[in-house]
Amino acid sequence: MATLEDLVKNIKKKEIKGTYIFYGEEPFFIDYLADLITENALEESERSFCQNVFYGRDVNMASMRDLCMTVPMSFTSNPRQLVVIREAQDCAKKMDILYRYLEKPLDSTILVLVFKNTKSLERKMPTKLATVFKSELLKEKDMPKWIQNEFKSAGYTIQTEAVQTIIEYSGTNLERIHNEIGKLIISHPAEKPITSQDIQQSFGIMKDYAIFDFTAAIGEKNAKTIFKILDYYIKNEKTWPFELLVGNIFSFFKTLYQIKLAQRINKSMPNLAADIGKAPNAVWLLDKQQKYTHKYTLAQIENALTTLAEYDMRRKGMAGSTLSYRDILFEMILKIIS
């Protein structure tokens, strides 16, 4: 099983050959590798004739097998073609037609099979001659290191507080974080460390309306601040979709619940951080959140968690709700802080 680091290194060196099979539950790494191969496998002059990108739902597997077994037309001494099947999970049930090719692949064909949201490959799929990468979901405790590496690979450094600002604002949305980092480093001097203020400005976070200020206001049950920020979110629904807000509030109350239980048995915050899989440098966040525990009883925290789950279902139409974005937010928050 190939590692992400080795794959990226080899692809950037244009050491690309044979069959690649990417699958797993984290779509960001899968798309990243597939795009990287597409950018580096062929020269610009070869792409018009030798690059073929398909989507699983549209694939005729017999034609695909024949294409892979065809030596491409090329003006170079080493003819190669790139064949990419994106969303390959949509044609997985008929892919056995391609299995014979996978057992005896053609040297001139670079085949990339991209499976999204797939925990495992079909057991009978021949993978012996393929480069296989499984894209695992990134755990919350591993997010700081990944973000730091993203900046490091671009030649930048980032302060710890700035890393936490990214996590609190974007959660584990790797695609969003990756894209925002790309925008930030275009205009930021490489010799100057990235600060929390840089993140707030570049990621489009208005400090008064950042998600952690919103959860802090909920923690304090400060209705005036809560509804001031909510009013801003409602005016900017595309930037602050319901799913983003619910996800962050749920995470806030889940952690608050864990802190409340830890307090009952006098467990320290470093020990709690280790137990719930948070990085050691995130202990200060638990310390910061402890101050909200006197505002909520365990029953009220449990009510908040069930309320968030209920309104998430209603927003998705699973409970017959017809409330607008504004009304569902106001109603949900009132139930939580009342």
E strand map for the chain: 19-24, 51-55, 81-86, 109-114, 130-135
Structural domain count, the chain? 3
pLDDT for the residue 337: 93
So what's the pLDDT on residue 282? 64
Same domain flag for 214 and 313: yes
* Mean pLDDT value of segment 284-312: 89
Query: What pLDDT sits at residue 321?
Result: 61
Provide the pLDDT confidence category of residue 288 given band limits of 50, 70 and 90: confident
pLDDT at 129 over 70: yes
**In terms of domains, do 25 and 108 share one?**
yes
What percent of the chain has a predicted confidence (pLDDT) above 70? 94
Do 329 and 301 lie in a common domain? yes
Of 150, 181, 202, which residue constitutes the final position of a domain? 202
User: Which domain-ending residue is among 88, 120, 135?
Assistant: 135
Q: Are residues 149 and 116 in the same domain?
A: no
Place of tokens 């692949």: 105
Whole-structure pTM over 0.75, yes or no? no
The model's pLDDT over 148-161, given as tens digits with 9 standing for 90+, comes to 999 998 899 999 98
Residues 32 and 115 in one domain: yes
Give mean pLDDT, residues 244-262: 91
Q: Range of 224's domain?
A: 207-337
Tell me: do 41 and 84 sit in the same domain: yes
Q: What is the pLDDT of residues 303-322, one digit of tens each?
A: 999 999 999 988 887 766 66
- Per-residue pLDDT of 47-104, as tens digits, reads 888 999 999 988 999 999 999 999 887 666 778 999 999 999 999 989 999 999 999 9
**Do 27 and 148 share a domain, yes or no?**
no
Domain final position from 202, 224, 241: 202
pLDDT of residue 82: 95
The whole-number pLDDT of residue 336 equals 95
Q: Which residues are CB-contacts of 208 (< 8 A; sequence separation ≥ 6)?
A: 229
Query: Does the pLDDT at position 183 exceed 90?
Result: no
Q: CATH number for the domain including 73?
A: 3.40.50.300
Q: Are 83 and 99 contained in the same domain? A: yes
Residue 142, CA distances (Å) to 145, 149, 177, 280 in order: 6, 11, 14, 11
Q: In terms of domains, do 72 and 150 share one? A: no
Buried b (16+ CB within 10 A) or exposed e, 114-150: bbbebeebeeebbeeebbbbbbeeeebbebbeebbeb
Higher pLDDT, 139 or 322: 139
Residue 41's pLDDT band, with cuts at 50, 70 and 90, is very high
The sign of the torsion formed by the CA atoms of 316, 277, 205, 214 equals positive
211 plus 320 within the same structural domain: yes
Q: Which CATH number is 220's domain given?
A: 1.20.272.10
Q: Is the pLDDT of residue 205 over 60?
A: no
Helix (H, G, I), strand (E, B) or coil at 314: helix
Query: Which residue bears the tokens 């390959």?
Result: 88
Same domain, 195 and 288: no
Model confidence at 173: pLDDT above 90: no
CATH classification at residue 168: 1.10.8.60
